[in-house]
Amino acid sequence: METIKRKAWFITMINLYEVAETNEMIAKENLDVRTITLGISLLDCIDSDLQKVNENVYRKITTVAKDLVQTGQEIEKEFGIPIVNKRISVTPMALIGGAACKSPDDFVTLAQTMDRAAKAVGVNLIGGYSALVSKGMTQADEMLIRSIPKALHTTERVCSSVNLGSTKTGINMDAVRLMGDIIKETALISQDNDSMDCMKLVVFCNAPDDNPFMAGAFHGVTEADAVINVGVSGPGVVKTALEKVRGENFEVLCETIKKTAFKVTRVGQLVAQEASKMLGIPFGIVDLSLAPTPAIGDSVADILCEIGLEYAGAPGTTAALALLNDQVKKGGVMASSYVGGLSGAFIPVSEDQGMIDAVTAGALTLEKLEAMTCVCSVGLDMIAIPGDTPNTTIAGIIADEMAIGMVNQKTTAVRIIPAIGKTLGDKVEFGGLFGYAPIMPVNKFSCEAFVNRGGRIPAPIHSFKN
């Protein structure tokens, strides 16, 4: 028996080439785990006394997450793989503060408490300053939304998201219109800083409860008390793998992406399980995403070019992205026991050098990006537009994106930066992982009468599946 086991071990033993392949991915192709996000339910922190809620929230976050950063660092050492971010997501704050907050300023104190707690445990971002208003807004929801500009401006690490629609409920156009104003206000309040607060604010249609990626992460009410979600990445790994199959047909192309996605996701699954074990917190999901960074070679746009496009945005881009997104999911699904979150290719502009180049070359427009969001995860992400874009136009852009999500039963999002005082030809510097963005032109024609109608857009016919 012992001999058989010994033999089996020898046959399955990892060899030099496999080890070299993995380490090459880490060292040269930017393979990393993008984030370990600890979701924490704050439902038990609710109180009608504002000070008590603040105390409860601070205590809960700093207790549950006290070992998160250190555990992340230990796992990095054990496996020799970088874990770029350790983050926290919490229950949407509109639900937690609803009983205690009597004004938007009351909500701001909760954002500041989140910020203090995030700093105390050493995470770089905390998500969940959020409201879910896909059908209607409660008073608390509206107060939270109105507090967003000040909340983001007086905190460093807090991220905010608002769910404005879903396939089941339709689109809350009142909230869409309001967010047009709020995004502009958020830009104005931080105009000395390139309107940077806007990059911590995202609106969704069909927002997932278990997304580990910022700025849209929150801990949904359907989730357990605490849960570990992991987001993997690795555009560079896919790009390098595709370099070896240049000129081959689509079958070979798709197989290559699928196999690579499998390998990348397995690393995420391993890290998620290890983190879950070390922290004693259940494992939630792995988010199979190709998340780019501004680092050279860590770009989704470069993959599209490798597939055969001169620039991202050229005709064929939507088809190329559709197949990329699908193969990433097909490979990833088998690699992990639970997948969730956003899962797919991200196409942020400022965080992807290839996207920036495409915009600068005139190959990629807002309209093309909108088409691309029909076939990949997320949506219009990290896009800088002229600061004088009317609020109603911002609301119109949001409405279009929400409609794509609603009709296609997928998550879509808008994270747009109206750069105050800047216009075409200028660029906005965000720094670090957020990169920089050239200002993109926006359609000049008005949608004012449309977005000012008020009310909501009904759910589409195919949502009635009962």
Partner 1 sequence: MVNTMKKTIITVVGKDAVGIIAKVCTYLADNQINILDISQTIVQGFFNMMMIVDTNQTGKDFGVIVDELAKLGEDIGVAIRCQKEEIFDSMHRI
Position 291: which residue type? A
Whole-number Cα distances in Å, 131 to 92, 200, 220, 335: 6, 14, 11, 33
**Which region, judged by CB under 8 A, interacts with partner 1, from 138-146, 260-268, 350-358, 447-455?**
260-268
Answer yes or no: are the C-beta atoms of 386 and 439 closer than 8 Å.
Answer: yes
**Which region, judged by CB under 8 A, interacts with partner 1, from 161-169, 267-275, 391-399, 404-412?**
267-275
| Cβ-Cβ contacts under 8 Å for 205 (sequence gap 6 or more) | 134, 163, 164, 165, 166, 171, 401, 402, 403, 404, 405, 406, 411, 412, 413
Sign of dihedral through CA atoms 121, 95, 202, 267? positive
Locus of tokens 């070359």: 361
Q: Figure out which of the listed residues 123, 137, 270, 380 binds partner 1, where binding follows CB under 8 A.
A: 270
Phi, psi of 97 (to 5 degrees): -90, -10
Closer Cβ to partner 1, 270 or 428, answer by number: 270
Q: Figure out which of the listed residues 80, 82, 282, 455 binds partner 1, where binding follows CB under 8 A.
A: 80
Answer yes or no: are the C-beta atoms of 151 and 107 closer than 8 Å.
Answer: yes
CB contact burial 129-166 (16+ within 10 A = b; e otherwise): bbbbbbeebeebbbbbbbbbbbbbbebebbbbbbbbbb
Closer Cβ to partner 1, 223 or 274, answer by number: 274
Determine, following the binding rule CB under 8 A, whether residue 67 of this chain makes contact with partner 1.
no
Query: Cβ 344 to partner 1, closest distance in Å?
Result: 21
Two structure tokens written together for 348:
């942020």
Determine, following the binding rule CB under 8 A, whether residue 70 of this chain makes contact with partner 1.
no
Determine, following the binding rule CB under 8 A, whether residue 28 of this chain makes contact with partner 1.
no
Query: Cβ 429 to partner 1, closest distance in Å?
Result: 34
x/- contact string, 205-244, with partner 1 (CB under 8 A)?
Answer: ----------------------------------------
Determine, following the binding rule CB under 8 A, whether residue 19 of this chain makes contact with partner 1.
yes
SS3 at position 277: helix
Peptide bond before residue 291 is cis, with ω within 30 degrees of 0: no
Determine, following the binding rule CB under 8 A, whether residue 337 of this chain makes contact with partner 1.
no
Q: Figure out which of the listed residues 40, 53, 81, 202 binds partner 1, where binding follows CB under 8 A.
A: 81
Two structure tokens written together for 461:
């016919």
Query: Cβ 33 to partner 1, closest distance in Å?
Result: 11
Determine, following the binding rule CB under 8 A, whether residue 290 of this chain makes contact with partner 1.
no
Determine, following the binding rule CB under 8 A, whether residue 20 of this chain makes contact with partner 1.
yes
Determine, following the binding rule CB under 8 A, whether residue 250 of this chain makes contact with partner 1.
no
Closer Cβ to partner 1, 173 or 286, answer by number: 286
SS3 at position 94: helix
x/- contact string, 110-149, with partner 1 (CB under 8 A)?
Answer: ----------------------------------------
Residues within the interface to partner 1 (CB under 8 A):
2, 5-6, 9, 12-16, 18-23, 74, 77-81, 263, 266-267, 269-270, 274
